[in-house]
A and B are shown apart, each in its own frame.
Chain A
Amino acid sequence: MNLITEALERGESTLSEHASKQLLAAYGIPVTREVEVLRPEDLAGALDEVGFPMVLKACGARFTHKTERGLVRVDLRTREEALRAFEAIWPEAEQAAGSVLVQEMVGGRRELVAGLTRDPQFGPCVMFGLGGIFTEILRDVVFRVAPVTERDAQDMFSEIKGRRILDAVRGMPPADRDHLARILIALGRIGLEHPRVKEIDVNPLILDAERPVAVDALVVLGD
């Protein structure tokens, strides 16, 4: 993948959110519809293309904890809100030679996490669990060694303690487990096919009704 070699050549240890999602999308993992704005004059076109409501985020190899740094603005509903958000984020993005992502706002309250880590003994391992702020609080995650099979993935869904989040709850449809399984299988494949990918973190992976969408993603590179 050019994305990976280019980032390594630039001496970067992570892919930007946008590049991370391009890698995931190449493996069939559904990601948010988004436009990367590299210059302020491109903003207007991006707003038109993505449509409201939307999310604006700083994007670049150096932005790993965007929310904590105030570099994410969500649920922007008007052009004015979007412009104000851009003005707030752009200076820092520009300074870091980054960009601003204009992203569709994904509706859905169920947040999952999926990822890949490279274990010194087991090799690439795929992770699945509860996402968003619950990832760190509950640590309700399970792992499988790649390659992950359809059955492994389905087992992972029933192994998390919060498994009922995937059922039909509070008027929300049951999660599309087959679709989720394909995501976990794909993460395992990336791990096996790209030795330089050290970790992948898809968090949150939001259930938009029944459909999982990678709303944020981080690919960490290594030797």
Chain B
Amino acid sequence: MSATSPTYDLDPLFRPRTVAVIGASDNPGKLGYHVMKSLIEGGFEGEILPVNAKAERVMGLAAYPSVEACPSRIDLGIVVVPAAAVPTVLEQCIRKKVGGLVLISAGFKEIEDPAGARQQEALKAMAVVNGIPVIGPNTFGMINLHHRLNASFTPEFSLAGKGGIALVSQSGGMSHLLAFLAMNAGIGFSKIIGLGNRLNLDFAEILPYLASDPDTRVIALYIEGLDEPRPLLEAAESVRGKKPVLVYKTGAASTGDQASMSHTGSLAGRHEIYSGAFHQAGMLTVDGSEAMLDLGKALNVCSLPRGGRIAILTGQAGPGMAAADACEALGLEIARFGSATQSEVDRLLPPLAMRTNPVDMGPAWYDSGAIQGIMRAVLEDEGVDGIILLMMYASANREVVPVLSGLLNEWRQRKPLVSCLVSPAGIWDEAVRELEEGRALANYPTPERAAEAMAGLCRYACLSNTEWRAL
């Protein structure tokens, strides 16, 4: 299957020097206005060419009546004309040798009228024969944050942080949801790509490009359904162990529809088969939007554990218990400290505290030296594969996080470290953000989510390592 599908050069799409907006407009009631706004406000550094049959200028830039009338070579065309005009525009773009298209226009396969699907098939044939890669139709567009390219109708995507996660989604709505949630949580992206109706670029075509993209460390896919799953499985298999591929697949509700004489048949929901196949190809499945972002962040920041033995270091007993319960429920093991580690912990903490894992560092609130000593001993313990650090703010422990920064930055994830460092707004946020940006730790708002992120790292380590499958 993959042998017959053509491969496209996607660089003109994602790293263009010249972008034409076909259907550009000064009217805020048109998508062509919002796309122009995205490109300009996003700070695109290349040339922007508005194409509009009637206007001489759009948003202060010289406009052209057609793509072919544009004076320069065009890498990327963003198309926002009505569906009926798309075939003509595509023909012109092919003649102009445009490098690739983002086809925002809607009214194809997604509409009830079967004419829409037929029109899309005709466009696809044209694109495939002429070797032009097309994202869409029926998409919000695509954003390459490292290239300052916002080729979408949502200018606010440019406000997303620059980071290592590439989000590829079949749904525009889910892209917006995940991107805005991520912005609020301080999680950055390399690219956000809306595949829309997938004319000739599907997950299987995008995945290898992202696998070789130096700006992308984690690939996150939102999938509703696939016409042909095998090419994606093959693509995932080919990047296995190189970059983590996360999948959030919805559509579990519409399963179990086939009548069957056997248990096997009646239990074979599409969802169960999808998740088995994804797992088989080395992709990591998650079961929600929050989990997608939490695990995306952990994989972007943390190193991979060599096993599932976890140390829990906490500033207060309660959150430590919550983390321990969550770890156990997720199949993680609460590590047994080596004797050197244990005697160091015993030396630094009074006997009234919990001193075996999980360690309650509460009595050392005022003694940052002791906390550093405990952290160091546990980080270096050979029997510990990952650390969960929990600390709830109290006026008396205000300095703990800033004091730990030095050690954690120096340690820098030689073992995965996830945390739940929580204070009222404005107290620890800045220090935590710096630690995350320095990839010293991945922080979460609850002990349970921190534990889930650690479990996800372990699951991925199992998937990418042929020797180890503890979880």
Contacts and interface: CB of A to CB of B under 8 A. Distances in A.
A144 B276 contact: yes
B95 interface: no
A96 B226 CA distance: 44
Given A119-B268, A141-B267, A125 B262 contact: no
Given A122-B229, A155-B279, A143 B261 contact: no
B265 A220 contact: yes
Interface size class of B (residues with CB under 8 A): 20 to 34
Q: Is the interface of A mostly helix, strand, loop or mixed?
A: strand
A32 interface: no
Interface string B79-100: 0000000000000000000000
Interface in A118-144: 119, 121-122, 125, 127, 129, 135-136, 139, 141-144
Given A119-B273, A121-B228, A127-B267, A152 B260 contact: no
A199 interface: yes
A201 interface: yes
B262 A201 contact: yes
Given A117-B268, A121-B229, A145-B280, A14 B261 contact: yes
B469 A154 contact: yes
A71 interface: no
A143 B276 contact: yes
B261 A125 contact: no
B4 interface: no
A116 B230 CA distance: 18
A93 to B, nearest CB: 19
Interface residues of A, number: 35
B471 interface: yes
A151 B466 contact: yes
B262 A115 contact: yes
Contacts of A152: 280
B279 A199 contact: no
A135 B469 contact: no
Interface string A80-114: 00000000000000000000000000000000010
Given A122-B273, A142-B272, A201-B262, 7 more contacts: A119-B268, A119-B273, A122-B277, A135-B263, A143-B277, A151-B466, A201-B264
A135 B261 CA distance: 14
Contacts of B277: 122, 125, 143-145
Q: Which one of A13, A64, A125 has the greatest number of beta carbons of chain B within 10 Å?
A: A125
Nearest to A187: B264
Interface in B276-295: 276-277, 279-280
Interface in B217-265: 226, 228-230, 233, 260-265
A113 B263 contact: yes
B234 to A, nearest CB: 12
Closest 10 CB pairs of A and B: A115-B264, A201-B262, A143-B276, A117-B268, A199-B265, A199-B262, A201-B264, A143-B273, A144-B276, A145-B277
Contacts of B268: 117, 119, 125, 127, 143
Interface in B300-338: none
Question: Among the interface residues B261, B263, B268, B471, which one has the most CB atoms of the partner chain A within 10 A?
Answer: B263
A127 B466 contact: no
A142 B471 CA distance: 15
Given A121-B228, A141-B272, A145-B273, A200 B264 contact: yes
Nearest to B463: A155
A171 B275 CA distance: 34
Contacts of A5: none
A157 to B, nearest CB: 10
A203 B263 CA distance: 8
B441 to A, nearest CB: 28
Contacts of A14: 261
A14 B230 CA distance: 29
